[in-house]
Every structure is written in structure tokens, then in C-alpha cells.
């Protein structure tokens, strides 16, 4: 078990590594803007009646208590579900 300065150094290194990994994940993941455009393009190519890309992005940024609410709204915006 580490204590004192050794423990503090390990915690500092762990926080730096955590920050590095989080940054890498953010850099490699789609933003809501990119994801919304890709989803809209896919739905349009599928012949669906699609909401504007801004509406899709808005839904992707939502923080609903129940994920089902956001999923239902997204499906409706993509023309896959009656709103």
C-alpha cells in the first residue's frame, strides 16, 4: 500500500493519464453535429421524411431522464416513427 508522497505521485500520474485518454476519446468520437448530418444523410438516402439536421442535433444533445424518450424523438425526427 502506497502512502504519502508515493501515493500522491501515483494519483497525479493517474489523473494525467485519465485526462489523456478522455481527450483521445473525444478526438476520435463523432460530435453531435457530425452524427446528426450522417444520420440525416442516411435517412434521406433511405427515402424517409427527415427533420432538419438542426433538430436531429438538438435531440442528440438532449439529456433526458429516460433514454427511451430521446430514442423515440430521434426515430421520429429520422422519419422512422410517427411523432
| Residue-by-residue pLDDT tens, the chain, 83 positions | 889 999 999 999 999 998 888 787 777 777 888 889 999 999 999 999 999 999 999 999 888 888 899 899 999 999 998 65
Predicted local confidence at residue 82, as pLDDT: 66
User: Can you tell me the distance from the alpha carbon of 19 to that of 24, in angstroms, rounded to the nearest whole number?
Assistant: 9
Cβ–Cβ under 8 Å, residues 60 and 36: yes
Q: List CB contacts of 55: < 8 A, sequence separation 6 or more.
A: 77
Amino acid at each position: 500500500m502506497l502512502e504519502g508522497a508515493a501515493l500522491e505521485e501515483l494519483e497525479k500520474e493517474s489523473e494525467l493519464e485519465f485526462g489523456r485518454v478522455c481527450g483521445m476519446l473525444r478526438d476520435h468520437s463523432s460530435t453531435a453535429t457530425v452524427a446528426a448530418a450522417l444520420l440525416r444523410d442516411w435517412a434521406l438516402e433511405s427515402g424517409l421524411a427527415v427533420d432538419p439536421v438542426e433538430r436531429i442535433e438538438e435531440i442528440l444533445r438532449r439529456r433526458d431522464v429516460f433514454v427511451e424518450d430521446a430514442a423515440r424523438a430521434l426515430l421520429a425526427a429520422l422519419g422512422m416513427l410517427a411523432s
